[in-house]
Structure 1
Amino acid sequence: MVIYQVGLIPSQFYGVLSEKNHSKFQELVVFAVLLILLNSTLKSVEQYVCGLLYVSWRTSLTEDLHRDYFWGRVYYTLNVLRKDIDNPDQRISQDAERLCKQLSTMASRIVISPFTVSYYTYQCYSSTGWTGLLSIFGYFVLGTIVNKILMGPIVSALIEQEKLEGDFRFKHMQIRVNAESAAFYRAGKVEHMRTDRRLHTLLHTQKKLINKELWLYMGVNLFDYLGSILSYVVIAIPIFAGVYDGMTPGELSALVSKNAFVCIYLINCFTQLIDLSTTLSDVAGYTHRIGELREVMNDVGRQQYDYDPVLRETNDFKRDTGSSETAFVLDRLSFKSPVSEEPLVKDLSLRICQGSHLLLVGNTGTGKTSLLRVLNHLWEPSSGSFEMTTCFGPRGILFLPQKPYLTDGTLREQVIYPLKDIYPAAGSVDDERILQYLELAGLSNLVKRTGGLDEKVDWNWYDVLSPGEMQRLCFARLFYLQPKYAVLDEASSALSEEAEDQLYRVCKHLGMTLISLGHRSTLRKHHDVMLRLCGGGQWELTKLKMD
């Protein structure tokens, strides 16, 4: 309604100026300025509300996707085992952001359009009668049909473009994470060539998308500009019919200006809806990708819920309060790689008890790490069964993977990971424990380098620490959490034999039962039983004499 009053201002200026009425002119100028200020305020509030909607929707959608993505081991399955969903990280971060941004820009038009169309339909009917009104509505219906036809081929091309965008970004992320390794290989030229190859594939798809969008843009722009001519055609009908023959030129000019504004604004309401077809094609593409991800995550989550009894009882990580003396019971367990039909282990029966340290050995590719994946419910067994009688977490079972994992955050957060709560205050008993375990792990100098346990660091831990220091930090984490059972997948491969011996002795002194995977013969003295995987599904179990 405010815009309607603003739109009538030019016609009122025509009347006042044609009459040369100075006092009315001054009043009209003041009135016009006030209306413009009010209109600007309302428009700014509208844009502000759309911004708040964008933030609110992105928060809601992304948190919902995160909940499904990080439930159980869904994130592991999507990134490692499932190849039918490309770039889940891009879908959650980039596609969700763009979807919410586009929806927020559409929101005000969709919400306000019914009211503006109704109001200006009435005003248009009052000014031009049925002829003008039906002409404008027919124009809108025709524009909608044409743009719907032109929009169809764009959605699939947009989906393909977003997939290639993710692949291109992943390639750069791969270079960033492995920059040092690539530099040692002097692989700049080959990585340059492979990155350019992904770029050209992406740009080729973008060019195809631009070609398809050309016709949509032509349709949108054509209807935008034809609308301005249509408004004058609608007004011309009663003028040439002689309806306004009794008016003076000044009165007729004011009437034309008023009617032109009403018709043009009604047409503009419709053309804005037609213009949404370009935004709608983007929304459709992003919605498809996010919806596809949601469906797969729900499917993976249901499968893991049925397979992993731990997920039906508790979170992934908690303190164990039980007194079970057994960690795993394996009964004729067989498993294979998800990408191969060849069995890695057949009919393995084993009981892992507290106080009995197990060493897992075998040649590369015989399934050592794969067995740990099965025990951690990352892979499903082919046949047989196994039971985990102790939960994950402090005082329970803790896995140290082959590649050390360091999170972002302070030194304290590295040590207590994956605990979420940083409950101890500075100077507390917990600080003393952390400092003690860092010293036992040979990292007492790390406190000085970081400036303290809770000082924020602006570096990447992987760039600053050597492979040996990263493994020592993981052992400090192990000492702090003090699980009953520590599953170590070559967790000391980057350390000297002397350092390895010291760290293993600390683990046993803290009461941990060790389940180790490694190739060094020096590991035998720390274990009671050795399980050798021989390949082809064969295995053998022998007792060791401890030094």
Structure 2
Amino acid sequence: MQTQAVSDRSLINNAVPPASQKFWDNFKAIFGPYWYPTQSDKRAFPDVLRIWIMLILLIILIIALVGLSAFNSFVTRYLTDVIEEKDYANFIKTLIVYSAALIGVTLLNGFSKFIRKKIALDWYKWLNNHTLSQYLKNRAYYKITFRDDIDNPDQRISQEIEPLTSNALSFSAVFLEKVLEMTTFLVILWSISQFIASVLVVYTIVGNLIAFYLGQQLNKINQEELELKAEYSYALTHFRNHAESIAFFQGENQESNIIQRRFEQLLKNILRKIDWERNQEFFDGAYKSAIQIFPYLVLAPLYMSGQADFGEVVQASIAGNQFASALATLIREFGNSGRFSSYVERLSEFSNALAAVSKQPENVNSIKSIEENHIAFENVTLKTPDDEQTIVENLSLSVQPGEGLLIVGPSGRGKSSLLRAIAGLWNAGTGRLVRPPLEQVLFLPQRPYIILGTLREQLLYPKTNRRMTDAELKEVLQQVNLQNLLSRVEGFDTEVPWENILSLGEQQRLAFARLLVTHPRFTILDEATSALDLTNEGNLYQQLQETKTTFISVGHRESLFDYHQWVLELTQNSSWQLLTVQDYRNQKTIIQNSNENTHITIDSSPNNESQNQSATLTQKATSEGLSHKEMTELTLYSIKTIRSKASKGESIAAKDGFTYRYDKAPHVLKWIRG
């Protein structure tokens, strides 16, 4: 992933002038489908109604909580006056009311938080499933890997959706509760002293301006912290996924430097955050303390002069304290909202990217796909997804049921890209691609996909609901030479980290076992036997042929020619040629001989004697056949090579322009022409 680009992008985004407008647009895009679904297929009406009833109940509980807290301030004021008057009877009654109000506040506070968390959980569940559905839809999870502006999609789903929903509900509930508290207790203070209330209003405005500035700085720091944590987490995941390669290279020091560098960047950001949070804590504490002291400064002299009773002083102090606490909590929530806005921005950015890659681009040519019972390319010109490079031009071929096609060519020529086109992963270009339904096709890549699951699920993948007995599965393991695997685990229902305990060759044989289990009608193999020896490779391909499946392979080994009927060679400049395996071998032999003859003519010139000898051998080949030694004279191959080709049944293109094959009949055992 291009994690560095994220930091650069965040700096650019911070410089965009209408930042607040962008936030609200992102906010509505994420929150709208859950709270205000406009499409009937997105959420059922009973679900929407249920969540709105819970939200209304939460609002009622918050209003009741604030109202009861305000009522309690009056009870406290009356209780203080009763104590001052030493009225024991009224003291007991008032104390009971005061205790009941406190119990009510406790219950309302507990229930309101419970309802808030239930709503957040329901929202998290829906938003996670909705985002995951977008991620999996139309293979967006694959297409988004080609974008360098989206980092760590796994973290965005697993670690950033839940805090977004919980923070949103927490902030909204706290905001409503504290604004109501501030308003209520400001009214109470106004009833006691208009001067105190007026000063508090001015004080609040000034304090909020300072708090807003501090919050903005923390917002930027929180945004950077979120991205740096993602980069650090990705570095550790990358290290774990490539542990064996790093061990081979003994690259621990270099990897440690990379991880440590990212960790140091994260630490610097955390230190900056600590400094700003310290300043905010100092401000919050001083701000709250000043509000608590101020009512005493004004009302205490009035009480001492007999112009106010002691209950009013206590109630004003409580009201000021409640106002200050509410304001401090609100300021703290605004400070924490930076992380919340980061979550909103990153999830919105992710959702927009998923929607973009899932949508077919306009005014861009694409290969038309038709579903039929065979595979064919009809004048197909395939390009890379960015439409910048042409892989192959005007490709036309058809693979009939039961046939095998081998794709060869230099590295980087686009052999695997043709397989991506068959799978529907790449479709930029022109022409028509005929293919079977994808559920009838099994893809075997060079590095097989090993799922997180049991051995049984590994073998049955991708159709893990298939029913097979242990005896049947054991037979499949025997067929792919993995019969010893069961001795290393406790059974087919054992779940272990298979990627760590299986070598690449064992993983490739496990992938072939899936083929024998599923019996697909079509199989696509992308160097699926590259880690196997020739014996295991031959065994697996022979079983593949016995299944009567139609298969297309990509590979470099000459041994693969023995299991295919056709060869598609991708050459330079997007050109190609389609030949039978026999014709392709003959062509390569002629080219090789031509190169060898060219090299020979540099050092010596042919003479009449050698020409006459070749003519004699050619004539003998027609009537009697040639021995291995005579073929060396006609082809310039070594006798060892001639014998090897004879044992494999391979033909040879000789210097006279004819092709020779070895007749293995016991009464012949000669090279004959044709």
- Contact 1:8–1:258 at 8 Å: present in 2 too? yes
Q: State the AA in 1 paired with 2:169.
A: S
- Contact 1:401–1:491 at 8 Å: present in 2 too? yes
- Contact 2:303–2:310 at 8 Å: present in 1 too? no
The verdict on how the C-alpha distance between 1:155 and 1:271 changes in structure 2, with shifts beyond 3 A counting, is closer
Name which of 156, 160, 165 aligns with 2:229.
165
Q: State the AA in 2 paired with 1:356.
A: E
SS at match of 1:358: strand
- Bigger CA drift: 518-527 or 198-207? 198-207
Name which of 105, 117, 122 aligns with 1:39.
105
Count of aligned positions: 517
Does residue 335 of the first structure (1) align with residue 383 of the second (2)?
yes
Q: State the AA in 2 paired with 1:266.
A: F
The verdict on how the C-alpha distance between 1:485 and 1:259 changes in structure 2, with shifts beyond 3 A counting, is same
Residue number in structure 2 paired with 1:369: 416
1:499 Cα shift? 1.5
Runs of 4+ in 1 over 6 A off after TM superposition: 304-311
Does residue 281 of the first structure (1) align with residue 338 of the second (2)?
yes
Name which of 505, 525, 542 aligns with 2:542.
505
Name which of 391, 397, 420 aligns with 2:441.
397
Q: Write the distance in 2 (CA, Å) between the matches of 1:197 and 1:106.
A: 34
Does residue 441 of the first structure (1) align with residue 484 of the second (2)?
no
Q: TM-score normalized by structure 2?
A: 0.69
The verdict on how the C-alpha distance between 1:371 and 1:27 changes in structure 2, with shifts beyond 3 A counting, is same
Residue number in structure 2 paired with 1:316: none
The verdict on how the C-alpha distance between 1:221 and 1:479 changes in structure 2, with shifts beyond 3 A counting, is farther
- Bigger CA drift: 44-53 or 167-176? 44-53
Q: Write the distance in 2 (CA, Å) between the matches of 1:276 and 1:265.
A: 16
Q: Write the distance in 1 (CA, Å) between the matches of 2:208 and 2:433.
A: 61
Structure with bigger RCO (C-alpha 8 Å, 6+ apart): 1
Q: TM-score normalized by structure 1?
A: 0.84
Name which of 114, 117, 125 aligns with 1:59.
125
Does residue 495 of the first structure (1) align with residue 532 of the second (2)?
yes
- Bigger CA drift: 57-66 or 442-451? 442-451
Residues 417-465 of structure 1: CA deviation (Å, up to 9, x unaligned): 223x6364xxxx5666544433322334444544343x252x2111121
- Bigger CA drift: 364-373 or 484-493? 364-373
Residue number in structure 1 paired with 2:171: 106
- Contact 2:383–2:390 at 8 Å: present in 1 too? yes
Q: State the AA in 1 paired with 2:69.
A: I
Residues 34-88 of structure 1: CA deviation (Å, up to 9, x unaligned): 4433332322223322332332222122212111111122111223x11111222
The verdict on how the C-alpha distance between 1:480 and 1:307 changes in structure 2, with shifts beyond 3 A counting, is farther
Residue number in structure 2 paired with 1:299: 356
Does residue 415 of the first structure (1) align with residue 437 of the second (2)?
no
Does residue 201 of the first structure (1) align with residue 265 of the second (2)?
yes
Q: 1:91-490, aligned counterparts within 5 Å?
A: 91-113=156-178, 115-128=180-193, 130-211=194-275, 216-233=280-297, 235=299, 244-245=306-307, 252-303=309-360, 324-336=372-384, 338=386, 341=388, 343-381=390-428, 383-393=429-439, 396-419=440-463, 422=465, 424=467, 433-447=472-486, 449-453=488-492, 455-457=493-495, 459-490=496-527
Residues 96-148 of structure 1: CA deviation (Å, up to 9, x unaligned): 232223223223213434544454344333333x4333333333333333333
- Contact 1:433–1:480 at 8 Å: present in 2 too? no
Residues 122-180 of structure 1: CA deviation (Å, up to 9, x unaligned): 4333333x433333333333333333333334434433332221111111111112222
Q: Write the distance in 2 (CA, Å) between the matches of 1:158 and 1:350.
A: 56
The verdict on how the C-alpha distance between 1:19 and 1:231 changes in structure 2, with shifts beyond 3 A counting, is closer
Name which of 138, 142, 152 aligns with 1:72.
138
- Contact 2:476–2:513 at 8 Å: present in 1 too? yes
Q: Write the distance in 1 (CA, Å) between the matches of 2:92 and 2:367.
A: 80
- Contact 1:335–1:345 at 8 Å: present in 2 too? yes
1:29 Cα shift? 5.0
- Contact 2:367–2:432 at 8 Å: present in 1 too? no
Residues 176-205 of structure 1: CA deviation (Å, up to 9, x unaligned): 122222122222111111111111223234
Q: Write the distance in 2 (CA, Å) between the matches of 1:284 and 1:12.
A: 45
1:33 Cα shift? 4.1
Q: Write the distance in 2 (CA, Å) between the matches of 1:127 and 1:397.
A: 81
Q: State the AA in 1 paired with 2:456.
A: R
1:488 Cα shift? 0.5
Residue number in structure 2 paired with 1:319: none
Q: Write the distance in 2 (CA, Å) between the matches of 1:295 and 1:146.
A: 35
Q: State the AA in 1 paired with 2:109.
A: K
The verdict on how the C-alpha distance between 1:468 and 1:232 changes in structure 2, with shifts beyond 3 A counting, is same
- Contact 1:54–1:100 at 8 Å: present in 2 too? yes
Q: State the AA in 1 paired with 2:127.
A: L
Q: Which has the larger radius of gyration?
A: 2
Q: Write the distance in 2 (CA, Å) between the matches of 1:21 and 1:343.
A: 96
The verdict on how the C-alpha distance between 1:186 and 1:413 changes in structure 2, with shifts beyond 3 A counting, is same
Q: Write the distance in 2 (CA, Å) between the matches of 1:310 and 1:359.
A: 23
- Contact 1:136–1:267 at 8 Å: present in 2 too? no
Calculate percent identity across the aligned residue pairs: 26
Q: Write the distance in 2 (CA, Å) between the matches of 1:334 and 1:107.
A: 52
Give RMSD over aligned pairs: 3.2
- Contact 1:342–1:536 at 8 Å: present in 2 too? no
Q: State the AA in 2 paired with 1:464.
A: I
Residues 455-480 of structure 1: CA deviation (Å, up to 9, x unaligned): 252x2111121212211211121222
1:526 Cα shift? 0.8
1:255 Cα shift? 2.2
Q: Write the distance in 1 (CA, Å) between the matches of 2:122 and 2:154.
A: 20
Q: Write the distance in 1 (CA, Å) between the matches of 2:79 and 2:139.
A: 69
Q: Write the distance in 2 (CA, Å) between the matches of 1:23 and 1:511.
A: 99
The verdict on how the C-alpha distance between 1:57 and 1:456 changes in structure 2, with shifts beyond 3 A counting, is farther
The verdict on how the C-alpha distance between 1:449 and 1:55 changes in structure 2, with shifts beyond 3 A counting, is farther
Q: Write the distance in 1 (CA, Å) between the matches of 2:376 and 2:294.
A: 79
The verdict on how the C-alpha distance between 1:28 and 1:336 changes in structure 2, with shifts beyond 3 A counting, is closer
- Bigger CA drift: 474-483 or 530-539? 530-539
Q: State the AA in 1 paired with 2:560.
A: L
Q: Write the distance in 2 (CA, Å) between the matches of 1:329 and 1:155.
A: 54
Residue number in structure 1 paired with 2:69: 3
Q: Write the distance in 1 (CA, Å) between the matches of 2:575 and 2:296.
A: 88
The verdict on how the C-alpha distance between 1:131 and 1:461 changes in structure 2, with shifts beyond 3 A counting, is same
Does residue 539 of the first structure (1) align with residue 576 of the second (2)?
yes
- Bigger CA drift: 430-439 or 490-499? 430-439
SS at match of 2:230: helix
1:524 Cα shift? 0.9
- Contact 1:368–1:533 at 8 Å: present in 2 too? yes
- Contact 1:235–1:260 at 8 Å: present in 2 too? no
The verdict on how the C-alpha distance between 1:509 and 1:154 changes in structure 2, with shifts beyond 3 A counting, is same
Consecutive unaligned residues of structure 1, counting only runs of 5 or more, are: 314-321
Residue number in structure 1 paired with 2:33: none
